[in-house]
């Protein structure tokens, strides 16, 4: 009898650890190299997608950019290492690496976009206001602001998602690339 109890306990523990590790691999973010607070999400192709990546795509419905299409960078902290919070306003300033087009959006931890009375969910390189040197400043805040404004959630954990389309970085990273700085401003 003791043997059966130990066997059953071992099976339950093995099953629990197996399911937990599979869940972690499917839920864990795919992160490649990083530049400052921005972490690259590796490109996914049919040849490079492992079973966990395929399961993640099936679960989330995300459409990954292919290697020739572009590259996604995600920031979850500001330049001082503090997690991004919807209760705070942020200034994103600087330049992006070379790309034919880029978009910047704010999502919650689950990938949801904030509600916006204007309907704006992202800014693009085609509509952004820049200075004479090509630099820009974007305010990320729950309430509308003049200039380059991107709506955020009223509270909770957030992520900044920068998508670079048709960029040479998708094929090989540039060690000297410049990424925008993320600075926390006022918090509510």
Query: What confidence tens digit (pLDDT) does each residue in 28-43 have?
Result: 656 666 778 998 876 6
Q: Binning pLDDT at 50, 70 and 90, where does residue 185 land? A: very high
Q: What is the pLDDT of residues 146-183, one digit of tens each?
A: 999 999 988 889 999 999 888 876 556 666 778 999 99
The 10s digit of each residue's pLDDT in 89-148 is: 999 999 988 889 999 999 988 778 887 777 788 999 999 999 998 899 999 998 889 999
What pTM was computed for the model?
Answer: 0.77
55: pLDDT strictly greater than 80: no
Structure confidence at residue 85 (pLDDT): 94
Quickly list DSSP for the chain. -HHHHHHHHHHHHHHHHHHHHHHHHHHS-----EETTEEEEPP--TTT--HHHHHHHHHH---PPPTTTEEEEEE-B-TTSPBPBTTEEEEEEE---S-SEEEEEEEETTSPPPP-TT---EEETTT----TTS-EEEEEESS--SSSEEE--SSSBEEEEEEEES-GGGTS--TT----EEEEEEE-
């Amino acid at each position: 009898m003791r043997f059966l109890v130990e066997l059953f306990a071992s099976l339950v523990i093995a099953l629990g650890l197996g399911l937990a590790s599979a869940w972690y691999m499917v839920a864990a973010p795919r992160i490649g190299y990083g530049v400052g607070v921005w972490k690259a999400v590796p490109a996914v192709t049919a040849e490079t997608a492992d079973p966990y990546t395929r399961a993640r795509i099936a679960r989330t419905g995300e459409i990954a950019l292919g290697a020739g299409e572009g590259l996604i960078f995600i920031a979850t902290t500001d330049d001082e290492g503090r997690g991004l919070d919807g209760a705070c306003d942020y200034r994103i300033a600087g330049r992006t690496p070379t790309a034919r087009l880029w978009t910047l959006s704010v999502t919650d931890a689950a990938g949801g976009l904030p509600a916006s009375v204007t309907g704006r969910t992202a800014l693009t390189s085609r509509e952004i206001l820049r200075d004479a040197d090509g630099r820009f400043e974007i305010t990320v805040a729950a309430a509308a602001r003049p200039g380059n404004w991107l709506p955020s959630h009223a509270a909770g954990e957030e992520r900044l998602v920068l998508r670079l389309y048709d960029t040479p970085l998708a094929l090989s990273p540039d060690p000297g690339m410049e990424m925008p700085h993320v600075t926390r401003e006022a918090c509510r």
